[in-house]
């Protein structure tokens, strides 16, 4: 796309009249992005309104499908809010089971992310390996909940399925396997120069900016922000569990990678503790069909960060208001900041590093070339391919690693 010393305008738009608003608007001077804004909302379906016309149980199934990666996060956050309004204390065993599924979800999500990040920088073998390993946790989830995704584990008042004693050894064995694999990824992340060079000093976000922009999750923690809802505002069984909040201080994509792989290790620790201390007893209590008037704010540490649900009940069997603030929304402005004054070639991995909960590989990018006063729209795929080529020319090439990994 660019020759050294000569700024070449990228060849014209791929689709002249695509009629879809661009998700990324960038201004380029030379090879650097001077201004960036991220526009989301293409995935708006109208879920909050739909919730008002459905019962609480129906809403559980709808809300679970806000995001197919962190479905249990949304479902649990919602159930917690409703239970709080209704004054329901769910049984201890149910709290533990919710937490076990929550951490298994974190594991699948972080492994998924690792693969996607690998793909974005041209390290496709990493995608193949991490997604192969991810199948271990997908199998565990399918065994415990009946589905690979959208587990349907929650009900208002607890959980719908119990964990049987004979399932536990299999789960622990899977966790052991995943821990071994994760140790290997940590080693690669710590030692492989191509990876370290590619991810370091990319997508910088200072501690102050992370706070100011309201960043959440691993994105914030990689900038040293010590915030994790599991510790700050404990829910489910987290108050009973010993675990660390993982932060890093490099404030870059490399830091976000390290935070996620180390969080995987913490998740394995947490799952083992939960299974070892799993309380006896029932898995749910009866919840009334009509929830008394009231309101509650429920928070949850999803794999991407703080997930906030607000629910207002009015004494009927349908909620008066359901508001969901998913973590990715909190990170979009931080991303725009990270892109500014950086190379266009960094864009795919910088965006991917916040682990966006939207299908970003299909989004359109609008580039306003300030040097030539021209504006064009490109598919993400082209920016992605060009960025791998750009880095190859600068000696960062994953071709060899793809073969030897």
Q: Which of residues 210-269 bind another protein (CB under 8 A)?
A: 211-214, 227, 229, 232-233
Q: Kindly tell me which of 317 and 320 has the beta carbon lying closer to another protein.
A: 320
How open is the CA angle 227-104-129, to the nearest 5 degrees?
105
Told to check if 15 binds another protein by CB under 8 A, we report yes
Residue 297 touches another protein, criterion: CB under 8 A: yes
Least distance in angstroms from the C-beta of 265 to another protein: 23
CB of 276 to another protein, least distance (A): 27
- For another protein, the binding residues in 95-124 under the rule CB under 8 A are 112
In the set 67, 101, 178, 251, which binds another protein (CB under 8 A)? Answer: 67
Distance of alpha carbon 345 from alpha carbon 253, whole angstroms: 14
Q: Which is nearer to another protein, 245 or 370 (CB)?
A: 245
Among 29, 161, 312, 375, binds another protein (CB under 8 A): 312
What are the beta bridge partners of residue 342? Answer: 33
Backbone phi, then psi, for 300, in 5-degree steps? -150, 140
Number of other CB atoms surrounding residue 216 within 10 Å:
29
Binding pattern to another protein, positions 139-168, x when CB under 8 A? --------xxxx------------------
Q: Please, which of residues 267-296 interact with another protein by CB under 8 A?
A: 295-296
Q: Hey, which residues between 18 and 57 contact another protein (CB under 8 A)?
A: 18-21, 37, 39-50, 53
- Quick one: 272 or 312, whose CB is closer to another protein? 312
Using CB under 8 A, pick the residue from 7, 8, 12, 68 that binds another protein: 68
C-alpha span between 6 and 151 (Å, rounded): 53
* Cα–Cα distance, 331 to 219 (Å, whole number): 8
Q: Which is nearer to another protein, 290 or 325 (CB)?
A: 325
Nearer Cβ to another protein, position 30 or 214? 214
Chain mean position to CA 404: 29
If one asks whether residue 208 binds another protein (CB under 8 A), the answer comes out as no
First to last CA, the chain: 29
Contact between 177 and another protein per CB under 8 A: no
Q: Which member of 8, 132, 183, 187 binds another protein (CB under 8 A)?
A: 132
Residue 200 lies near another protein (rule: CB under 8 A) = no
CB of 394 to another protein, least distance (A): 24
Q: Rounded distance, CA 56 to CA 348, Å?
A: 39
Distance between CA atoms of 344 and 7, rounded to whole angstroms?
A: 13
Tell me the number of residues near another protein by CB under 8 A: 71
Taking CB under 8 A as the criterion, the residue among 10, 35, 55, 84 binding another protein is 84
Q: Toward another protein, which CB reaches closer, 221 or 248?
A: 221
Q: How long, in residues, is the chain? A: 405
Min separation Cβ 274 and another protein, Å = 22
- What is the distance between the alpha carbons of residues 153 and 283, in angstroms, rounded to a whole number? 11
Out of 1, 381, 397, 402, point to the residue binding another protein (CB under 8 A): 381
Binding region for another protein (CB under 8 A) out of 68-76, 91-99, 181-189, 396-404: 68-76
Interface segment toward another protein; rule CB under 8 A; list 178-186, 245-253, 319-327, 343-351: 319-327
14 C-beta neighbours (distance < 10 Å), count: 13
Indicate the residue among 31 and 84 with the shorter CB distance to another protein.
84
Question: What count of other Cβ atoms lies within 10 Å of the Cβ of residue 6?
Answer: 6
The C-alpha angle 399, 115, 266, rounded to 5 degrees, equals 130
| Interface with another protein in residues 329-368 (CB under 8 A) | 329-330, 332-333, 357-359, 362
Binding status of residue 135 toward another protein by CB under 8 A: yes
CA 214/CA 332 separation, integer angstroms: 10
Which listed range, 93-101, 133-141, 199-207, 283-291, lies at the site for another protein (CB under 8 A)?
133-141
């Amino acid at each position: 796309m660019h020759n050294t010393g000569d700024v070449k305008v990228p060849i014209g738009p791929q689709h002249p009249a695509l009629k879809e608003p661009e998700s990324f608007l960038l201004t380029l001077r030379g090879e650097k992005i001077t201004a960036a804004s991220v526009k989301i909302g293409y995935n708006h379906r109208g879920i909050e309104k739909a919730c008002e016309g459905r019962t609480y149980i129906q809403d559980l199934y709808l809300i679970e499908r806000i995001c197919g990666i962190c479905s249990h996060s949304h479902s649990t956050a919602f159930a917690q809010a409703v239970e709080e309004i209704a004054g329901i204390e769910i049984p201890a065993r149910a709290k533990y089971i919710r937490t076990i599924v929550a951490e298994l979800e974190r594991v699948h999500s972080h492994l998924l992310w690792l693969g996607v990040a690998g793909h974005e920088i041209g390290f496709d073998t990493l995608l193949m390996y991490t997604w192969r390993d991810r199948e271990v946790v997908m199998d565990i989830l399918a065994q415990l909940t009946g589905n690979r995704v959208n587990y349907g584990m929650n009900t208002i008042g607890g959980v719908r399925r119990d964990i049987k004693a004979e399932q536990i050894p299999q789960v622990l064995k899977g966790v052991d396997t995943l821990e071994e694999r994760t140790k290997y990824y940590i080693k690669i992340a710590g030692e492989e120069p191509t990876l370290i060079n590619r991810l370091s000093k990319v997508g910088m976000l200072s501690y102050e900016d992370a706070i100011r922009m309201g960043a959440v999750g691993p994105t914030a923690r990689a900038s040293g922000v010590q915030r994790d809802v599991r510790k700050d505002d404990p829910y489910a069984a987290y108050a009973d569990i010993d675990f660390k909040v993982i932060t890093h201080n490099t404030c870059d994509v490399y830091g976000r990678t390290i935070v996620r792989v180390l969080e995987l290790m913490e998740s394995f620790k947490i799952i083992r503790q939960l299974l070892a201390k799993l309380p006896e007893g029932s898995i749910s209590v009866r919840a009334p069909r009509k929830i008394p008037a009231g309101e509650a704010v429920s928070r949850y540490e999803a794999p991407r960060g703080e997930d906030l649900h607000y629910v207002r009940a009015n004494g009927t069997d349908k909620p008066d208001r359901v508001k969901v603030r998913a973590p990715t929304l909190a990170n979009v402005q931080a991303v725009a900041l990270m892109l500014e004054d950086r190379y266009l070639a960094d864009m795919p991995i910088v965006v991917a590093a916040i682990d966006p909960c939207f299908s970003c590989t299909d989004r359109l990018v609008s580039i306003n070339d300030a040097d030539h006063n021209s504006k064009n729209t490109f598919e993400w795929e082209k920016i992605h391919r060009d960025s791998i080529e750009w880095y190859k020319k600068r000696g960062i090439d994953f071709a060899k690693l793809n073969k030897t990994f």
